[in-house]
Amino acid sequence: MSDFMLPDIGEGIVECEVVEWHVAEGDVIEEDQPVVEVMTDKALVEITAPEAGRVTRLYVQKGEIAKVHAPLFAYQAESDAAAEPEKVKPATVEEPASRPAEPPPGAAAPSRAAKEFILPDIGEGIVECEVVEWRVAEGETIAEDQPVVDVMTDKALVEITAPEAGVIQRLHVARGEIARVHAPLYAYLPEGSEARDDAPTAEPAPREERRPSRESPAPAWSEQEAAVEPGRGPYGRIPAAPAVRRLLREHGLALEEVPGSGRQGRVLKEDVLGYLAADDSRQERDEVRGARDAGATGRAPAEPASGDVRIEPLRGVRAVMAKRMVEAASTIPHFQYGEEIDVTELLALRERLKPLAAAEETRLTLMPFFMKAMALAVREAPILNARLNDDVSEIHYLPSVNVGMAVDSRAGLLVPNVKGVEGFSLLEVAAEIQRLTEAARAGKVSQADLKGGTISISNIGALGGTYAAPIINAPEVAIVAIGKTQWLPRFDAEDRVVKRAIMTVTWAGDHRIIDGGTIARFCNAWKGYLEAPETMLLHLV
């Protein structure tokens, strides 16, 4: 008996509603027969049978929600029913139990109670991930909780560990390929399972004595094939697996364009790949013919490219960043506010405190001061630490200041946040920043550290930038870009030219609930704490 897993039925879709079952438990089904209709948030989708057989169980009832990559129904394949082996007779004194047949020379050893490791849920809404690095190889012994593989989701790098001790039998997904949630990731032989390999098994009959249960001059489906239109299945549809249909969508092809080589005109993956390769060849021939025609008419051909175009799929964190930045820029009315901050006194204070922080094995940068001053300034303008509800009808003022910081990691831009800055000391904030920065740059920051931010800082000055126009990290309502610190001439109280450390900052605010006066007052309060850092002592916990 096999479980039919609900396949990918649309980009980003993780669940759907069962609208109508076309079969019942016990019904006989044919290959490509419509089995069930499901409704996604975009369209009604018809699911067909992958092969002929008999439905044994419906896991999801009409009106309930089905999950992508989860069992939808169970069925017994027609081929499995026909080839079901006879049960082994119990061993008696007169008739001893038969021993396992010896495999022929050169044949692969039979599978010894191998188990499949199913990729679990690794984040809300995540249905696939990229295999970044295998820590083990086939045939290698693993221990319980040993790191086995690193996978990259659209949010972070996740480390998958072994559920129990054993031996790796097979890696189903190669490095750089896409693994599906709730699909097998690798197979392994659990420790101690060799002891079960001596169980009695029936000796197979000799090959020449095997006979079909009934003779027929042609397969049972041949008559049905003759009655349908060539290239169409028995239900008037071009047969193709969901994975093949998805491959066609990715390349902008219609199912009718690709001739199928399978039974009843089924379009196989090899057919699509072959069609694409032939299409590329046709394009190359057209380009050569065009260049030849241009030469014959006296027109100069276009200059050849200096090299091949390198194509890299947009995946993981970069794909999510692209989507969210477009959404934020197109749905939030941004406005910018710039200011200069004199951080001369702040730099001097940090230099005095750095040895004390180093004694606690903590690296003290300016970022803890920025965050702590921001948490104090929020008390004067709490709307900077608020957010709008989904239908933009309410403003929710958040009780905790969770300051996010943009980190340029190897996986792309990540924004982990320090939670509850208002309740931490400067040293505690510095330690948390150090932890999050190291985790983000290694691509191993946790999902909890990426969620729940209320206001963000982008330190472009660390890379040499002076000004920027940042995009708000929705659903937050404000973000600040901090430029590099420059030593510039300024006038003091007695009109003398002095050298001061000047840092530029640029705020972006959500103009739906924040106006220029509000962000100016907030920035002035924040600036006051940074230019006279000793004033923060009155409010530090």
Cβ neighbours, 10 Å, residue 19:
14
pLDDT (0 to 100) of residue 52 = 87
Which of 5-14, 145-154, 424-433 reaches the highest mean pLDDT? 424-433
Mean predicted confidence (pLDDT) in 155-172: 86
In angstroms, the CA 282 to CA 365 distance is 59
- pLDDT of residue 263 exceeding 80, the answer is no
Question: Please, which pLDDT band fits residue 323 given cuts at 50, 70 and 90?
Answer: confident
What does the pLDDT read at residue 39?
84
Residue 379: pLDDT band (50, 70, 90) is very high
Buried b (16+ CB within 10 A) or exposed e, 398-419: eeebbbbbbbebebbbbbbbbb
- The average pLDDT across 56-78 equals 90
CA 540 to chain centre: 40
Cβ atoms of residues 102 and 43 within 8 Å: no
- Residue 511 annotated among the catalytic residues of the structure: yes
pLDDT for 58 equals 94
> Vertex 445, ends 442 and 448: CA angle to 5°?
180
Q: Are strands 455-458 and 403-405 parallel, antiparallel or unpaired?
A: parallel
- Quote the pLDDT of residue 250: 73
Least confident of 49-53, 115-119, 276-280: 276-280
Q: Read off the pLDDT of each residue in 208-234 and give the average, rounded to a whole number.
A: 42
CB 218 within 8 A of CB 144: no
Question: What does the pLDDT average to over 24-29?
Answer: 92
Instruction: State the first-to-last Cα distance of the chain, in angstroms, to the nearest integer.
Output: 63
Whether residue 366 contacts residue 415, with contact meaning beta carbons closer than 8 Å, is answered with: no
- Alpha helix segments (H runs only) across 75-157: 78-82
Q: Which residue has the tokens 């394949």?
A: 77
Where do we find the tokens 């008739």?
95
User: Are the beta carbons of 430 and 363 closer than 8 angstroms?
Assistant: yes
Q: What is the pLDDT of residues 381-414, one digit of tens each?
A: 999 999 999 889 999 999 999 999 998 876 678 8
Q: How far is CA 40 from CA 4, 12, 22, 37, 154, in A?
A: 18, 11, 18, 10, 22
Query: Would you say residue 243 has pLDDT above 50?
Result: yes
Q: What is the DSSP letter of 286?
A: H
pLDDT reading at 203 higher than 70: no
Residue with the larger pLDDT of the pair 50 and 421 = 421
What are the structural domains of the chain? 1-84 (2.40.50.100), 115-191 (2.40.50.100), 229-284 (4.10.320.10), 334-538 (3.30.559.10)
Work out the mean pLDDT of the chain and round it to a whole number: 80
pLDDT at residue 329 tops 50: yes
pLDDT digits (tens, 9 = 90+) for 469-482: 999 999 999 999 99
Provide the pLDDT for residue 293: 53
Question: What are the residue ranges of helices labelled H in 191-255?
Answer: 222-227, 242-250
Q: Looking up tokens 């330190």, which residue turns up? A: 459
pLDDT (tens digit per residue) in 275-295: 887 766 656 555 555 555 555
Higher pLDDT, 293 or 166: 166
Instruction: Show Cβ contacts of residue 336 under 8 Å, excluding neighbours closer than 6 positions.
Output: 469, 506, 507, 508
Burial class (CB within 10 angstroms; exposed 0-12, middle 13-18, buried 19+) of 262: middle
DSSP state of 58: E
Kindly report the number of other CB atoms within 10 A of residue 36's CB atom. 23
Q: What is the pLDDT of residues 433-461, one digit of tens each?
A: 999 999 888 777 887 898 899 999 999 88
Q: Determine the pLDDT at residue 150.
A: 86
Candidate from 27-31, 304-308, 347-351, 362-366 with smallest mean pLDDT: 304-308
| pLDDT for residue 232 | 56
Q: Is the pLDDT of residue 63 over 80?
A: yes
Please provide residue 96's backbone torsions phi and psi, each rounded to the nearest 5 degrees: -65, 155
Q: Name the catalytic one among 172, 182, 334, 511.
A: 511
Strand partners, 115: 188
For residue 349, give both structure tokens.
């204070």
Of 3, 286, 515, 539, the catalytic one is: 515
Strands (DSSP E) found in 110-252: 115-118, 128-134, 141-142, 147-152, 157-161, 166-171, 178-180, 184-190
Query: How high is the pLDDT of residue 322?
Result: 84
